[in-house]
Structures are given as structure tokens and as C-alpha cells.
Amino acid sequence: MENFPILAIMTLFMGAFINSLAGRRSYKARCAIVFTTMAISLILVLAMVPSVMGGGEIVCYWMGGWAPEADWAYGIGLEVDALSLFFGLIVTIAVMISGVYSFTYMKHDDSQVNFYTLFLMLAGSVLGLVLSGDLFNIFVMVEIMTFTAVALTAFRNDTEGALEGAFKYLVVGSLGSMSILVGTILIYACLHTLNLAQIAQMAIHARNPVMVIAFGFLFVGFCTKAFMFPFQPLAADAHAVAPASISMMISGVLTKCGVYGLIRLVYVLFQNIGQTHVQYLVTGMGCVTMFICVTMAFNQHNFKRLLAFHSISQVGYVVTALGLGTALGLSAGLYHAINHTLFKGLLFLVAGAVQHQTGTLDLDELGGLSKKMPRTTALFLIGAASISGIPPFNGFASKWMIYQAAFSKAVNTDNFFYLLVCGVALITSVLTLASFVKVAQSAFFGQCSVLCRDAEDCEKGMLVPMSVLAVLCVVLGLIPDQFGTLFLKPAAGAAMDPGVYISAMLRGADATVMPAIYGYVGAWNPVFFIVLLLIVTVGVTIYSVSAPLRRPEPLAEGDVEDEHVLPENAKYEPFFSGEESVHSHVGGSDLFWGFKENWKKYFSFWHDWHSGIVNDYELYGVVFLAAALIYCMLFV
């Protein structure tokens, strides 16, 4: 049992190694190696679930047997509590699905060995990050993660902007790595230890300016890794050019690492989430991010760029929720984190499928895919409904918890700020819906565009992973209560009660921690109403199916669709005020004119802000770092 975490991590790294040795032989060998490693890693993580999630056990492993002596941790430790395991699960599931999808999706690319090597290294580093119990180890993993992700982003370097996107990611991402390193150094200088549990034990007593600055650096570093507000252009540029399975990894897994870091930072390491100003800082960051990114997404006409902005917007939700500092908020944040991985992964894979079949991601050029790719469309609709929070999908369940958490926080503390948070979250949800309506109308419905005429549903190798994600989306939406009891409660409990974490790692150490304010309110129970919805739907369907429907007859001889249909045969043509039907697809960039017209200035400001110049982005990062440090010095 103790060996499971290190085995799970090392399997992935070893897989990368073996793959680069033996994977060159054939496609099948490569797939076998990659699949086996991913499966072993997933099984190892799953094997820890019953005891850690159910039993409340904490798995500790000291590398090389360097257990702490005299209550002082020298060695590198791996510590898996429910929180780590929760993120470990997210990571391994996402890796599994992304990898299986890649088998088909990347089939026609060259140098696939390198791809899978990098992919497995990325997976290993991310898993290492969330299971690690050592701050410097976390930094190392962040570095591996960033560089493999950069390389994978630029993998299709023949596409326009791939190298550019990767370069921006590299340059600005290194600002984040640098911040984490500086924070780690400052902590080590103060406390002379790198072990998370030990830092947590001591940091609460050592409230000096250096520690505050260290907190600021680490906060900014993890924000960078989660692509929070001033760093969101990187995500957009990287996602738009990366292969779809990598986009899924970046949005579903890499941003989660940032979130995991933030949770560890504020709940366990510094335990300062109880302070109002830390709550303002984290929640404020989340709110700003989610609102700005969703409005940016509104303007995009590249499918994956749009998804990228939404991805950051949803991470904003997660951060907002966990910044509330209540058990309900943290549970909601964790729930939304896993939901986000599922639905955003699904949407990225759908985008990949669309790109695979039509060769473009430009919403202005797509159209009418629903008749050519019905399965992909159904999957897209599930993903879009989930992310927009349409009941009964999972996005609704977790957003519902977030509103509930923000609202009860506002009422309990009598603080208007959290009410604003609640309002912003609700509006963001509507705007999310709006931009997915745009995608649905532009790409999947409406009239078939030239590029989409010959498209067909993608192969099973791509459909199956997407279907798995879709099923998970539906299932998690239907059993929020059970899921909450089984996974969220232990995970949130682990973060809310760092004393257990500390004492598990340093056996016998006295753990002085902030008082745990733990009260799990409970999720909403959709079962009853789902049953009812089903009954009503079935009832209405029976009646409506029995109706005499007139399905389109085949075109008469001499009629050509979209070009010329005799007026007498026009019964099934779309109504064009009597005109002959021509290709006229409403969609793409200009769909929501009435909304954008009123917000012209706002949109043009943010348009100019996203200049695409890496210097500017670096500058924003530095300014943000400075602002965060000043804020921390003043208030924390």
C-alpha cells in the first residue's frame, strides 16, 4: 500500500522510457506500452481509494526509507491524503482517456514516439505533483510539467502559430515556475524544511514578512499554472494550436495542478484561508477570471480558443468556491474541478474530432455538422449542457453548490462581497450558455458549409473515450449526494483539517492547526425530479411520436440541393420568404449583435489588452506579481 503512490508515478515515467526505446517498432507496440502504463497507474490510484477515501487513511512513503528523525523530515516524502488522491483520480482518469483518444487522433502524425514519451512524462509529472509531500519536489514536477506541455503544444509545429503559442507559454510559464521556486527558497530559508507537513506545522507560528512574501510568490506561481486572470492569453494561444488530446490535458489536468497547489497553499501550508483578506484575494481572483474569460470567449470564432477561455472561466469558478473558506465552498470547488475536467475534456475532444474530420476549427467556416456527425453532435450537446449548468448534468449540480456556498457565506458573514460573487457566478453561467449556443448554431446546426459536406462521424477509437466522458458527465450529475459522501466529503475534510495530515506524516508530532470549521451541508437531490422529468418526457414523446410526421422526401429528378429546387417540390426546403433556398448560415462571430453592441467599449478594451505580444503578457505577469506581493504585505 505504501508503495502505490511512487509506483503509480514511476510507472508513467518508466513507460515514457520504454516507449522511446521500443515504441519505434510499430503502432501497435506503442499503443500497448502506453495503454499498459496508463492502466497500471490508474489501477494503482484506484486501489488506494477504498482505504484513503473510505477509511480516512493517509498513505505515506519516504523515498529511500529516509523517514523523519527526531521529528525532522530530511527525506523526500510522498503523502497521499484524500485531497491528493482526489486530484490523483482526476489526473489518471483524464490521462487514460486522453491517451486512448490519441491512439486514433494522432495516427496520421509523424514522430509519434516522441509524442507519447512526452505525454507520459507530462502525466507522470502531474501525478507526481499532486501525490508529493515535498515542496521542492512539487517545483521539480511543475518544471517537468511545463516543459513537456510546451513541447507538446508545439508538437504540430507545421501549423500556424504553434511555435508562437508554445514560446509564449514557455516564457510566461517560467515566470510562474520562478515564483514557485522563490517561494520555496524563502520558506526553506525561514523554516529549514521542505516537507509539506512540517511546513504546515511550523508556518502557523512563523508569521513574519518573509513568510508572507513567500506566500505571495507561491500564490502567483500556482495562479500562473492555473492560468488565472492576467495569464489567460497563454492558455488561449496554446490551446488553439495544441493537439486536442493535449488541450484536454492542459485544461483538465494542468490547470487542476494550479488549483491543487492553491488548495494546499491556503488550506494546509499557511492555513490562512480563515483570514478575510485571503478569502478576498482568492475569491476575487476567481471572480475576475471567470467573468473576463467568459466575455473573452464570447468574441472568439476559433472553436478551441473559445473553449480555452471557457476552461479558464470554469477554473475561476473552482477558485472562487475554494476561496470561500467553508466546507461547502471547498466541496463545491472540488466537485466543479472534477466536473470541469470531464466536460471540458469532452468538449476539447469533440473539437478535435471536428478538426480531424473537417480540417478547420473556424466557426465562421463550419456549419451543419449535426447531419454529418450525429454522434459527435450528441456528445457536444451533453458537454455544452454540462458546462452551461443545464440540469440534470453535472455542471448544474456543482454550480448549484457554488451558489449555495457563496450565498450562505454572504448571509452568515453579512458581507455584500459574497453576494456579488454569487451574482457574478450566475451571470457567468448565462454567458457561458450563450457562447455554447453560438458554437452549436455555428458548427453543428444550421446549413451545411462547403468544408463540412464530406465530413462523417469519427472512428470508434475517438468516439469511445468521448462517450465515456459523456457518461461520466451524466452520472456525476445524477448522483451528487452519493458522490459528495464518497469523495468530496473526505477530500474537503482532509483539506479542512490539516492536523491529520501533519500527524500522519510526522508520527507523534503535536499539530497545532486552525480550528476546523467543518460542516457539510449536502448536495441537492435530483433523483425525484429526474424521475418526474423522465415520466413527463416519455408521456409527451409517446403522443408526439404517434403523430403523422412528414419526413423529407428525396429530391426530385433534376433538383439539386442548395442550388436549384423546382418551386413545386419546395415543400421540405427551408422557408426563405418564398425565395429559392441558398446557402445562408447564420452563425459565427456576429451571432449576438444585440449584446455586443451595448458592450462595444468593454470588448474593444479587452481586445486591445490581448495584444498577442509576449512582452506585454510578461509585463502583465510581473505587474500582477507585484500587486499580489503588495496586497499580501498590506493585508495578509
CA-CA distance, 32 to 148, in Å (whole number)? Answer: 22
Would you give the binding string for other proteins spanning residues 517-556, x where CB under 8 A is met? -----x-xxx-xx--xx--xx--xx-xx--xxxxxx----
* Beta carbon nearer to other proteins, 189 or 430: 430
368 binds other proteins per the rule CB under 8 A = yes
End-to-end CA distance of the chain: 39
* Beta carbon nearer to other proteins, 86 or 444: 444
* Beta carbon nearer to other proteins, 26 or 541: 541
571 binds other proteins per the rule CB under 8 A = yes
* Beta carbon nearer to other proteins, 111 or 577: 577
Closest to 200 measured CA to CA, from 216, 211, 209, 210: 211
Q: Specify the stretch interacting with other proteins by CB under 8 A; choose among 35-43, 246-254, 454-462, 576-584.
A: 576-584
- Binding residues among 36-55 for other proteins as defined by CB under 8 A: none
CA-CA distance, 452 to 372, in Å (whole number)? Answer: 8
Q: Which amino acid is at 21?
A: L
Question: Could you tell me the smallest distance in angstroms from the CB atom of residue 584 to other proteins?
Answer: 5
Question: Could you tell me the smallest distance in angstroms from the CB atom of residue 390 to other proteins?
Answer: 5
Question: Which one among 24, 192, 371, 507 touches other proteins, defined by CB under 8 A?
Answer: 371
Question: Which one among 591, 625, 632, 636 touches other proteins, defined by CB under 8 A?
Answer: 591
Closest to 352 measured CA to CA, from 235, 465, 275: 465
Question: Which one among 213, 514, 570, 622 touches other proteins, defined by CB under 8 A?
Answer: 570
Q: How far is CA 215 from CA 179, 181, 200, 413, 597, in A?
A: 10, 12, 12, 25, 42
601 binds other proteins per the rule CB under 8 A = no
Question: Could you tell me the smallest distance in angstroms from the CB atom of residue 551 to other proteins?
Answer: 6
Question: Could you tell me the smallest distance in angstroms from the CB atom of residue 447 to other proteins?
Answer: 6
Element holding 80 (H helix, E strand): strand 77-80
- Binding residues among 201-240 for other proteins as defined by CB under 8 A: none
Question: Which one among 77, 325, 352, 389 touches other proteins, defined by CB under 8 A?
Answer: 389
579 binds other proteins per the rule CB under 8 A = yes
Let me know: does 452 contact 370? Beta carbons within 8 Å: no
595 binds other proteins per the rule CB under 8 A = yes
How many amino acids of this chain bind other proteins (CB under 8 A)?
A: 84
* Beta carbon nearer to other proteins, 147 or 403: 403
Question: Could you tell me the smallest distance in angstroms from the CB atom of residue 552 to other proteins?
Answer: 4
Let me know: does 127 contact 257? Beta carbons within 8 Å: no
Taking the CA atoms of 552, 554, 556 and 560 in sequence, report the sign of the dihedral they define. Answer: positive
* Beta carbon nearer to other proteins, 113 or 437: 437
Annotate 343-383 with three-state secondary structure. Answer: HHHHHHHHHHHHHHHHCCCECCCCCCHHHHCHHHHHHHHHH
* Beta carbon nearer to other proteins, 512 or 541: 541
Question: Which one among 575, 608, 615, 634 touches other proteins, defined by CB under 8 A?
Answer: 575
Residues 6 or more apart whose Cβ sits within 8 Å of residue 609: none
- Binding residues among 398-437 for other proteins as defined by CB under 8 A: 400, 403-404, 407-408, 411-412, 416, 419, 422-423, 426-427, 430-431, 433-434, 437
* Beta carbon nearer to other proteins, 172 or 293: 293
* Beta carbon nearer to other proteins, 74 or 407: 407
Instruction: Looking at 479-546, list the stretches that DSSP marks H as alpha helix, in order from N- to C-terminal side.
Output: 480-483, 489-496, 498-505, 527-545
Sequential DSSP letters for 14-56: HHHHHHHHHTTS-HHHHHHHHHHHHHHHHHHHHHHHIIIIIT-
461 binds other proteins per the rule CB under 8 A = no
Q: At what angle do helices 460-478 and 82-105 cross, to 10 degrees?
A: 150
Cis geometry, peptide bond prior to residue 392 (ω within 30 degrees of 0) = yes
Q: Specify the stretch interacting with other proteins by CB under 8 A; choose among 62-70, 167-175, 368-376, 606-614.
A: 368-376
- Binding residues among 307-336 for other proteins as defined by CB under 8 A: none
Closest to 442 measured CA to CA, from 395, 375, 380: 380
